[in-house]
Amino acid sequence: MRTSGSVVKHTLANFGGLMIPAIVGVLSLPTIKDGYGTAGWGLLSLIIYVLLSAVMFDFGVGLGTTKFVSMALKQRDGQSIPDLLGAALTIAFTVGSVVGLALAAISPFLGTWLNVPQAYQDQVVPICIALGATIPVVTVGAIFRSLLEAAQRFDLMNLVKVPTSTILILIPLVGVFAGWSLITVTILFAVARVLALGSYAALAVSVYDGLRPRWNNLNANARKLLGFGGWVSVSNILNPVVTHAEKLIIPSFISITLLGFYTAAYEIVSRIASLPFAIAVAVFPRFSQDQASEFDVSENSLVQRMLRLLIVMYVPVVAGFIYLGNAFLTWYFDAETALYATSALQLLAVAFFFNSLAYIFLSAVQGLGRPDLKAKWDMVSVPLTIGLGIGGVVLFGLDGAAASKMIVTFLDCTLLLLFLGSILKKQPSDIIPAKTLALLVVACGVFIAGFFIDGTILFRVVALAVASILPAALYYFLWGNSDILALARDISLPFRSSITAED
């Protein structure tokens, strides 16, 4: 097996794969929202959410495939990979098909439950049938993508992921001008997912030197995957509830039109998590190969550098949404969206800041073989999220939805830090030492100050500039440019080339 490539280089590949469709989305969102109307955009956002979340129905087998194939590659046990693949594909297709049929079965009731406007009521059932047929395609495609992740071929993975993600925006954008219904848009989404499945499979076969699935020892391999993936699947199923519960609560208790305003703010600010998600995907195969005793959290470790850089890089971004949120939404969308969604945008920005840090902790916890810890917390957080979400929406509308999300996200980040400490038998202060904690406190101070800043746009821009300098200055005082130089050296390492069956 060839030498593995740079984690930072893989991160940049993943980040680019996330940012290209994100930029297309940012540029296209106002046109799509205006073309389909706020209610239509709210329904379209739910369709996209189902497609992006369909992988959660694979019982955690996708992540399990990445973990066990990574271990097999480290041990040069290439002969076990075809059997793992056969078991993974069987589980993914079976579960995806059952979930797809269930979605189609409940579709006659969803229009009323979600308060879908009369103009879109007759489209709900066909849309759900098309989505139901697409779910097993997505779950099977995720298995082949996991093979590329295990091989750390994020360059090839993103050759498929970038156009697949971008087309989720381009199809409705074209639909606005072509007059397509949301039914047509959903069917075209399904076609795109079938093409993505074929592309992932072809690339995996190429990377693994003609790999074909085998179904030897099916039961044993299925138990192995489900033993790890069982807990992951709990998180995969429950975490989207935690992540997106307010998107179901808002139309159920208020209206799908207000969901359109909330989603407009959410889609913009959620891009904050793109970089840490890219990091988490890149480091998971490496974490999966480590034992707890080998895991490095010293001051100069990759984990520490990533945490510090995330904090200092994201302060001006998050603070920008807080200090200039109203002006941005007015310019980007319109005054009505700014009226309804500014406070939600500000609170969501803080939520996604903590979510960004949580990604690093989560990747370590799951990679070190303890997905059960996150899953058990998810079992607790689901009723907490739903309760806070309903209370927040009923009492404070969209602001309450965003505030409840911020609270749960902060708790999630804190508990994942504690979980990692328990696995490594270290104190939280070992993972976030005093200097990093000081940087985090300064960042939070900048955010809090933004909620009290008032005045002209010029005054807020100046305040934002001054506030953003503070954590950057502290960072440079404490660490200088050593982190940047270390990451630059890491980038110079090559990507992995190929894997042969003998590996």
Give 326-346 as a 3 state SS string.
HHHHHHHCCHHHHHHHHHHHH
- 503 assigned to some structural domain: no
pLDDT at 488: 54
Dist CA 93 CA 81 (whole Å)? 18
Residues 6+ apart with CB under 8 A from 103: 50, 128, 131, 132, 135
- 117 assigned to some structural domain: yes
- 384 assigned to some structural domain: yes
User: φ and ψ at 179, to 5 degrees?
Assistant: 80, 25
- 378 assigned to some structural domain: yes
pLDDT at 15: 58
Q: Given pLDDT bands bounded at 50, 70 and 90, which one contains residue 188?
A: very high
Percent of the chain surpassing pLDDT 70: 86
Residue 235 has pLDDT above 90, yes or no: no
Residue 253 has pLDDT above 70, yes or no: yes
pLDDT digits (tens, 9 = 90+) for 475-488: 888 887 766 666 55
Is 356 in contact with 310 (CB distance < 8 Å)? Answer: yes
Q: Given pLDDT bands bounded at 50, 70 and 90, which one contains residue 496?
A: very low
pLDDT at 111: 78
The whole-number average pLDDT for the span 423-448 is 90
- 496 assigned to some structural domain: no
Dist CA 420 CA 100 (whole Å)? 35
pLDDT digits (tens, 9 = 90+) for 264-312: 888 888 877 777 777 776 667 667 666 655 676 776 677 787 788 888 8
**And the tokens for 395?**
């009492």
Dist CA 503 CA 493 (whole Å)? 21
Top-confidence residue, 226 or 192: 192
Closest Cα partner for 254 from 401, 142, 426? 401
As a whole number, the mean pLDDT across the chain is 82
**And the tokens for 267?**
């889609």
pLDDT at 27: 79
Q: Given pLDDT bands bounded at 50, 70 and 90, which one contains residue 198?
A: very high
Is 111 in contact with 246 (CB distance < 8 Å)? Answer: no
Residue 502 has pLDDT above 80, yes or no: no
For helices 434-450 and 302-332, give the axis angle rounded to 10 degrees: 10
pLDDT at 113: 80
- 499 assigned to some structural domain: no
Dist CA 112 CA 250 (whole Å)? 14
Count CA within 13 A, CB hemisphere, residue 224: 19
pLDDT digits (tens, 9 = 90+) for 101-129: 998 898 888 877 877 777 888 888 999 99
Burial zone of 370 (CB within 10 Å; 0-12 exposed, 13-18 middle, 19+ buried): middle
Q: Whole domain around residue 257: which residue ranges?
A: 7-491
Is 288 in contact with 367 (CB distance < 8 Å)? Answer: yes
Percent of the chain surpassing pLDDT 90: 29
Top-confidence residue, 240 or 216: 216
pLDDT at 494: 42
pLDDT at 53: 74
24-33, 186-195, 417-426, 464-473: which has the minimum mean pLDDT?
24-33
pLDDT at 342: 93
Residue 70 has pLDDT above 70, yes or no: yes
Dist CA 95 CA 255 (whole Å)? 32
Count how many domains the chain has: 1
pLDDT at 408: 93
pLDDT at 11: 57
Residues 6+ apart with CB under 8 A from 185: 44, 47, 171, 172, 175
The whole-number average pLDDT for the span 55-62 is 74
Residue 414 has pLDDT above 90, yes or no: yes
The whole-number average pLDDT for the span 381-388 is 91
The whole-number average pLDDT for the span 243-270 is 84
Residue 75 has pLDDT above 70, yes or no: yes
Predicted TM-score (pTM) of the model is: 0.69
Is 31 in contact with 229 (CB distance < 8 Å)? Answer: no
What are the b/e assignments for 397-416, b being 16+ CB within 10 Å? Answer: bbbbbbbbbbbbbbbbbebb
Residue 64 has pLDDT above 90, yes or no: no
Burial zone of 281 (CB within 10 Å; 0-12 exposed, 13-18 middle, 19+ buried): buried
Give 208-235 as a 3 state SS string.
CCCCCCCCCCHHHHHHHHHHHHHHHHHH
pLDDT digits (tens, 9 = 90+) for 431-441: 888 888 999 99
- 77 assigned to some structural domain: yes
Q: Given pLDDT bands bounded at 50, 70 and 90, which one contains residue 150?
A: confident
Quote the distance between the C-alpha of residue 179 and its chain's center: 31
- 448 assigned to some structural domain: yes
Please name the residue that has the structure tokens 């469709």: 21
pLDDT at 192: 92
The whole-number average pLDDT for the span 242-267 is 84
pLDDT at 80: 84
Count CA within 13 A, CB hemisphere, residue 220: 6
